[in-house]
Amino acid sequence: MHVWEQVLAAFIAIGGLAFFQAPRWAWSLALVAATVSVLWNQPEGGVGFSILTQVCVFAVVIFLITLVNVTKIRRLLLTGPLFKLFRKILPPIRATELEAINAGDIWWEADLFRGRPPWKKLFSFPKPQLSVEEQLFLDNQVEVFCSLLNDWEITQQTLDLPSIAWKYLKEQGFFGLIIPKEFGGKDFSALANSTIVQKISTRSVTAAVTTMVPNSLGPAELLLAYGTEEQKHYYLPKLASGEEIPCFALTGPEAGSDASAIPDIGVVCKGKYRGKEMLGMRLTWDKRYITLAPVATVLGLAVKLYDPEGLIGDKQEIGITLCLLPTNTEGVEIGKRHFPLNQPFLNGPTRGKDVFVPLDFIIGGVPMAGKGWRMLVECLSAGRGISLPALSTACAKHCYRVCGAYAKIRKQFHTSIGRFEGVEAALAQIGGITYLLEATRLLTLTAIDQKIRPAVVTAIAKYHMTEFSRKAVNHAMDIHGGRGIMLGPNNYLGRSYESSPISITVEGANILTRNLIIFGQGILRCHPFLQQEMQALSHPDQNEGIAAFDKTILQHVRFFLSNVTRLFFHSLTAGQFCSSYALQPLQAEIKQLSRMSLALSCISDFTLLLLGGRLKRRERLSARLGDVLSYLFLASAVLKYFNDFGDKKVDLPYVRWTLQTCLFQIQKAFLGFFHNLRNPLVRFGLKCLVFPYGRPYHGPKDKLDRQLARHMMLPSQFRDRLTSNYYLGKKEKDAVAVLEYAFKAMVNLEPLLAEVEHFGKTTVEDRGNLSKSLGMEAIIPLALKEGVISKSEANEILEFEHARRRAIAVDEFSTEQLQGKKV
Q: Which residues are catalytic?
A: 507
Cα angle value 417/419/420 (rounded, 5°):
75
DSSP at 693: T
Say how many C-beta atoms besides its own lie within 10 A of residue 417's C-beta: 21
C-alpha R_g of the chain = 32
651 three-state secondary structure: coil
249 three-state secondary structure: strand
In three-state form (DSSP H/G/I as H, E/B as E, the rest C), the secondary structure along 524-585 is: HHHCCCHHHHHHHHCCCCHHHHHHHHHHHHHHHHHHHHHHHHHHHHHHHCCCCCCCCCCCCC
Rounded distance, CA 282 to CA 297, Å? 20
Q: Is residue 210 within 8 Å of 345, Cβ to Cβ? A: yes
In angstroms, the Cα distances linking 594 to 381, 518, 580, 633 are 26, 20, 7, 12
Rounded distance, CA 301 to CA 251, Å? 10
Rounded distance, CA 392 to CA 468, Å? 8
Rounded distance, CA 452 to CA 106, Å? 8
226: left (phi over 0), alpha (psi -120 to 50) or beta: alpha
Rounded distance, CA 11 to CA 34, Å? 11
Question: Which H or E run contains 30?
Answer: helix 24-40
DSSP at 419: G
The CA-to-CA distance between both ends of the chain, in Å, stands at: 101
Question: Which H or E run contains 280?
Answer: strand 276-291
251 closest CA partner among 171, 318, 154, 349: 349
Say how many C-beta atoms besides its own lie within 10 A of residue 781's C-beta: 11
Dihedral sign for Cα atoms in the order 683, 686, 688, 694? negative
Strand partners, 362: 323
Determine how β-strand 317-326 pairs with β-strand 246-249. Answer: unpaired
Q: Is residue 577 within 8 Å of 570, Cβ to Cβ? A: yes
Cα angle value 262/266/268 (rounded, 5°):
150
Phi and psi at 595, nearest 5°, equal -65, -45
Strand partners, 271: 278
Q: Is residue 338 within 8 Å of 289, Cβ to Cβ? A: yes
CA atoms within 13 A on the CB side of 349: 10
213 closest CA partner among 33, 340, 312: 340
Cα angle value 307/258/102 (rounded, 5°):
80
Dihedral angle, C-alpha 549, 378, 390, 720, nearest 10 °: 60
440 three-state secondary structure: helix
In angstroms, the Cα distances linking 96 to 53, 372, 519, 531, 815 are 57, 10, 17, 16, 54
Rounded distance, CA 526 to CA 523, Å? 5
Q: Is residue 110 within 8 Å of 525, Cβ to Cβ? A: yes
